[in-house]
């Protein structure tokens, strides 16, 4: 691919997602361990909820027609509690004490709440009439047996977990979490806490990418740091394959320098190259390919470049691998520019910016003045990325823009 022959961001993302197999392996997990996992199959209710008509309030089960003319006294003939209903039936001018969630007895067509009743000597005197059906939850008002309530592809949140439990599922079939090998490269890198030479820096990219992997539903596999030698790279690539990684993410070594050896190392092991170089800033040198069943995503070495490329390409890839049917959705949203911007060149820009509320309803995004791709402090201070399309014309403060929010 020549220097000018670069894919657009949309083209690159589409190619990456197209390479994901449609059928992903599934596994059964206990419901208490299913938070954040993606359903592999539709879930149909195994029961009807509620299984019978129940009271929505504490009070008295009555017949509405008995309350049509007041005053009247109703004889209390029993009690219905949650889990233990009244087995008999209401006759004329009879009532049953009832509690929230308790089955409604036969003959009852409405509930007199306890605040509107006076009780004395085994009789209940209603203080007001009640319309038919008041405070009764009908059988199956929530759902009925056989209804599909959670579709395959749903990422399970807390409310989904509660619903699955109510549907009587102790375990669910979910897409197996994709394993992502993360390999940092470069003689200049050392792990946090290690002795640092005068010409070395701390390897931080692996931690950011591992966090993105975890948040997107994947399982990160730390492959450490490979020196700028083909043999060292061969060894770590082999470790990724041995660990059954679905995706190998390399960090650094993807450009055209004498020590950028990631692409040659992958090529000599048989990688089928999909593309290299994308018209974006930061993050131009991105590799995508396949080494047997393992997908390859080579990200730049600069921390911000790796992070932005991770959000733009790795996160949608992992969503697709997790079974999300809408993995390629546009995550951007409208905002108002808080500062003027110059016209853009042929690359799509992602500018780190602060984000503030605004009385118009749209937030105000103000890009930082310095956008150097090595500055982690600014990345940590940013709440969003302002997306600038290729060849965008100059923009003034107050103009509309598109942003991608960054997680806390």
pLDDT tens string, the chain, 408 residues long: the values are: 444 578 999 999 999 999 998 888 999 999 999 999 999 999 999 999 999 999 999 999 999 999 999 999 999 999 999 999 999 999 999 999 999 999 999 999 999 999 999 999 999 999 999 999 999 999 999 999 999 999 998 999 999 999 999 999 999 999 999 999 999 999 999 999 998 888 899 999 999 999 999 999 999 999 999 998 999 999 999 999 999 999 999 998 766 555 578 888 999 999 999 998 899 999 888 999 999 999 999 999 999 999 999 999 999 999 999 988 889 999 999 999 999 999 999 999 999 999 998 777 899 999 999 999 999 999 999 999 999 999 999 999 999 999 999 975
Instruction: Give the CATH number for residue 265.
Output: 3.40.980.10
* Per-residue pLDDT, 255: 64
Note whether 253 and 390 are same-domain residues: no
* Per-residue pLDDT, 276: 86
> Is residue 328, in this structure, part of any structural domain at all?
no
pLDDT digits (tens, 9 = 90+) for 67-123: 999 999 999 999 999 999 999 999 999 999 999 999 999 999 999 999 999 999 999
* Per-residue pLDDT, 39: 95
Instruction: Give the CATH number for residue 77.
Output: 2.170.190.11
> Is residue 267, in this structure, part of any structural domain at all?
yes
* Per-residue pLDDT, 3: 41
Q: What percent of the chain stands above pLDDT 90?
A: 86
Instruction: Give the CATH number for residue 160.
Output: 3.90.105.10
Note whether 365 and 312 are same-domain residues: no
Note whether 252 and 237 are same-domain residues: yes
Among the candidates 137, 166, 193, a domain finishes at 137
* Residue range(s) defining the domain that contains residue 113: 54-137
Residues in CB range of 71: below 8 A, 6 or more apart: 125
Token couple for 157: 């949140």
Note whether 196 and 259 are same-domain residues: yes
* Per-residue pLDDT, 220: 97
> Is residue 117, in this structure, part of any structural domain at all?
yes
Note whether 280 and 344 are same-domain residues: no
Among the candidates 111, 137, 163, a domain finishes at 137
Instruction: Give the CATH number for residue 395.
Output: 2.40.340.10
Note whether 271 and 314 are same-domain residues: yes
Q: How many residues does the chain have?
A: 408
* Per-residue pLDDT, 4: 55
> Is residue 73, in this structure, part of any structural domain at all?
yes
* Per-residue pLDDT, 1: 41
Note whether 195 and 74 are same-domain residues: no
Among the candidates 175, 198, 225, a domain finishes at 175
Note whether 213 and 316 are same-domain residues: yes
Residues in CB range of 132: below 8 A, 6 or more apart: 64, 109, 110
Note whether 119 and 164 are same-domain residues: no
Note whether 33 and 168 are same-domain residues: yes
> Is residue 119, in this structure, part of any structural domain at all?
yes
Give the count of domains, the chain: 4
> Is residue 344, in this structure, part of any structural domain at all?
yes
Note whether 92 and 198 are same-domain residues: no
Note whether 304 and 384 are same-domain residues: no
């Amino acid at each position: 691919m020549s220097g000018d022959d670069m894919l657009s961001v949309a083209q690159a993302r589409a190619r990456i997602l197209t390479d994901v197999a449609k059928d992903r392996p599934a596994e059964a997990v206990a419901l208490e361990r299913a938070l954040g996992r993606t359903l592999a199959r539709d879930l149909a209710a195994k029961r009807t909820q509620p299984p019978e008509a129940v009271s929505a309030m504490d009070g008295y089960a009555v017949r509405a027609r008995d309350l049509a003319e007041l005053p009247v006294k109703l004889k209390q003939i029993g009690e219905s509690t949650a889990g233990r209903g009244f087995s008999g039936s209401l006759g004329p001018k009879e009532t049953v004490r009832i509690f929230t969630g308790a089955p409604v007895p036969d003959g009852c067509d409405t509930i007199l709440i306890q605040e509107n009743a006076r009780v004395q000597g085994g009789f209940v005197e209603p203080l007001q009439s009640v319309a038919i059906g008041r405070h009764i939850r009908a059988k199956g008002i929530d759902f009925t047996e056989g209804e599909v309530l959670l579709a395959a592809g749903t990422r399970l949140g807390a409310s989904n977990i509660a619903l699955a439990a109510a549907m009587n599922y102790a375990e669910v079939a979910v897409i197996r979490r994709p394993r992502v090998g993360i390999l940092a490269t470069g003689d200049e890198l050392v792990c946090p806490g290690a002795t640092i030479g005068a010409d070395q820096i701390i390897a931080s990219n692996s931690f950011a990418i591992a966090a993105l992997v975890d948040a997107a539903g994947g399982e990160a596999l730390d492959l450490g740091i490979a020196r700028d030698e083909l043999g060292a790279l061969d060894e770590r690539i082999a470790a990724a394959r041995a660990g059954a990684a679905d995706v190998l993410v390399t960090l650094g070594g993807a450009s055209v320098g004498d020590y950028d050896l990631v692409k040659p190392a992958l090529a000599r092991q048989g990688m089928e190259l999909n593309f290299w170089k994308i018209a974006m800033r930061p993050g131009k040198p991105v590799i995508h390919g396949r080494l047997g069943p393992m997908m390859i995503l080579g990200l730049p070495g600069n921390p911000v470049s790796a992070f932005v490329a991770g959000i733009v390409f790795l996160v949608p890839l992992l969503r697709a691998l997790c079974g999300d049917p809408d993995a390629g959705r546009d995550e951007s949203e409208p905002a108002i520019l808080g500062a003027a911007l110059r016209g853009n060149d042929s690359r799509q820009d992602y500018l780190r910016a602060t984000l503030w509320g605004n009385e118009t309803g749209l937030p105000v995004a103000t890009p930082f003045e310095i956008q150097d791709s090595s500055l982690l402090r600014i990345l940590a201070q940013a709440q969003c990325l302002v997306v600038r399309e290729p060849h965008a014309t100059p923009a003034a403060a107050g103009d509309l823009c598109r942003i991608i929010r960054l997680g806390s």
